[in-house]
Structure 1
Amino acid sequence: MISKLPRWVEYGAFVLALVAGLINSVGLLGFKHQSISHLSGTATLLGTGVITSTFTDAFHLLLILFSFLMGAGISGYFIRGGALKLGRNYSGLLYLEAALLFGAIYFLTKDSLNGHYLASAACGLQNALATTYSGAVIRTTHVTGIFTDLGIMLGAKLRGETFDNRKALLFLLIITGFVVGGGLGAYLFSLFKFYALFVPAGICIFLALIYSIYNANANAKTKTKTKARG
């Protein structure tokens, strides 16, 4: 149950899902109609590409998969655990995600495949920022698992089990954010092409600043309570 889920988790999940949907829509529209925020489609393309495409194209897909893995590895190194918790270096990782997106813009506007790899690494980094919170699996760069979990919850409800409204709300916010991000990304891509990635990069920076302020205030309140008890 997530009855005590802090609001910052819900807001952050929505915004991060919006960022991922935006990045992925730019990928679908500009990377040869290829998704980058999740790997299922890319892995399938790699499998078919081994038979139907050139070695260069297949190797490019392999590097995208590897880049996502490396981005997730960076988060795994600095977070040191999957559960969401105040005080962890989320702000620093969000700044790094923004830097990766800035690098992606630089290379993509020069028709360099390096831009694909940096964008994929940014998504891998974001998706690994948090694994669970109070039993809820949180993935912000794709929604397949979210729909699956919602379906399981609905089935359990029909069987007579308690329905966790708070967890369902979290999942619906992630789905909504991803869809809204996709629409926003398509619109921005029609206007600015790959420069549209400045928007998710800017959102990451803004979110990092907000988290830093929130965390600092929370620490200050904790210290005040500790002194008062002493």
Structure 2
Amino acid sequence: MGVQLPRWVWVGAVTLACIAGMVNVIGYLGFEHQAVSHLTGTTSLLGAALAGGDWRAVRHLWAILIAFSLGAMVSGLIIQDSTLRLGRRYGVALAVEALLLAASVPLFMRQELNGALLAAMACGLQNAMVTTYSGAIVRTTHLSGMFTDLGIGLGHALRGMPLPVRRLMLSALIISGFLAGGILGAWLFRALHYRALLIPSALTGLTGIGYVLYRHWRLSPPYRQPGGQADVQEPPEPH
């Protein structure tokens, strides 16, 4: 039997992937050409900078890595768990992310590194906020895990094993959302330059408001169950 994902997880994950795609491409198209939503390439660049003795790049790349990690730390302080569950303080985390993105705009416009650091911190916060649900890894700021899940699922299908349809659908939707965000972010950057970051900032804030309203509705009678938990499970995944 596959993982069961309530609708708010689907909608939230795809929306946040789109936002991350926008932020990442705007950071990449900016004055430092620095991706901010994932750290694999950044760590590789750091290794190359250390080997080449480019100490300016070393300081810059280390700062991006630390900022992303600090964002994840803030998420841990706010949410205090790595398992996705309705009722947690995701609205607060999304509000902080929206403020970080908005605050990065004037710094980017002055071509200050701190703009990229705030954007990286926002991405770290978002990525740590959306982590796991019922054993499924949910990442919204980078796609390596999503493509890996797709490959594993297709390999299992070729061997005649049960296909985890919901997990593969979620991976495909997150990939599509991130790609759509990248396309939209590139268009917005050409039109608005760094002010384009105000769009994902606003979307993040609206997502937070939407989550709070949905949470209030789902945790109210008749959905509320004894013990204060909402019934958010969907029917079992078909094979």
Provide TM-score, normalisation by structure 2.
Answer: 0.90
* Larger CA deviation: 27-36 vs 211-220: 27-36
Structure 2 residue ranges without an equivalent (≥5) = 227-239
Any residues of structure 2 matched to 1:24-35 within 5 Å, and which?
Answer: 24-35=24-35
Q: Find the residue that maps to 1:44 and give its secondary structure.
A: helix
Task: Check whether the contact 1:63–1:117 (CA below 8 A) recurs between aligned residues.
Answer: yes
1:187 aligns with 2:190: no
Q: CA deviation at 1:33?
A: 2.3
Hey, what's the Cα distance between the residues in 2 that align with 1:61 and 1:89? Answer: 31
Query: Residue 154 of structure 2 aligns with which residue?
Result: 154
Q: CA deviation at 1:167?
A: 1.1
The change in CA–CA distance for 1:48 and 1:212 in structure 2 (over 3 A counts) is: same
Any residues of structure 2 matched to 1:68-87 within 5 Å, and which?
Answer: 68-87=68-87
Amino acid in structure 2 at the alignment position of 1:143? L
Task: Check whether the contact 1:2–1:134 (CA below 8 A) recurs between aligned residues.
Answer: no
Amino acid in structure 2 at the alignment position of 1:189? F
The change in CA–CA distance for 1:104 and 1:155 in structure 2 (over 3 A counts) is: same
Could you give the per-residue CA deviations for residues 156-177 of structure 1, whole angstroms, max 9, x where no partner exists?
Answer: 1111211011111111110000
The change in CA–CA distance for 1:225 and 1:29 in structure 2 (over 3 A counts) is: closer
Amino acid in structure 2 at the alignment position of 1:180? A
The change in CA–CA distance for 1:77 and 1:222 in structure 2 (over 3 A counts) is: farther
Hey, what's the Cα distance between the residues in 2 that align with 1:20 and 1:2? Answer: 27
Query: Residue 36 of structure 1 aligns with which residue?
Result: 36
Amino acid in structure 2 at the alignment position of 1:184? L
Hey, what's the Cα distance between the residues in 1 that align with 2:224 and 2:90? Answer: 24
Amino acid in structure 2 at the alignment position of 1:8? W
Q: CA deviation at 1:3?
A: 5.6
Hey, what's the Cα distance between the residues in 2 that align with 1:143 and 1:120? Answer: 16
Aligned-residue Cα RMSD (Å) equals: 1.5
The change in CA–CA distance for 1:22 and 1:53 in structure 2 (over 3 A counts) is: farther
Hey, what's the Cα distance between the residues in 2 that align with 1:156 and 1:39? Answer: 29
Q: CA deviation at 1:34?
A: 2.0
Q: CA deviation at 1:222?
A: 5.0
Could you give the per-residue CA deviations for residues 15-57 of structure 1, whole angstroms, max 9, x where no partner exists?
Answer: 0000000001001111432211000111111111113353122
Q: CA deviation at 1:223?
A: 7.4
Could you give the per-residue CA deviations for residues 131-154 of structure 1, whole angstroms, max 9, x where no partner exists?
Answer: 211221000001111101110111
Query: Residue 231 of structure 2 aligns with which residue?
Result: none
Provide TM-score, normalisation by structure 1.
Answer: 0.94
Q: CA deviation at 1:221?
A: 2.0
Hey, what's the Cα distance between the residues in 2 that align with 1:44 and 1:89? Answer: 34
Hey, what's the Cα distance between the residues in 2 that align with 1:109 and 1:32? Answer: 12
Could you give the per-residue CA deviations for residues 202-224 of structure 1, whole angstroms, max 9, x where no partner exists?
Answer: 00010001000000011112577
Amino acid in structure 2 at the alignment position of 1:160? G
Could you give the per-residue CA deviations for residues 94-136 of structure 1, whole angstroms, max 9, x where no partner exists?
Answer: 0000010011112111111110110000000000012211221
Structure 1 residue ranges without an equivalent (≥5) = none
Task: Check whether the contact 2:78–2:92 (CA below 8 A) recurs between aligned residues.
Answer: no
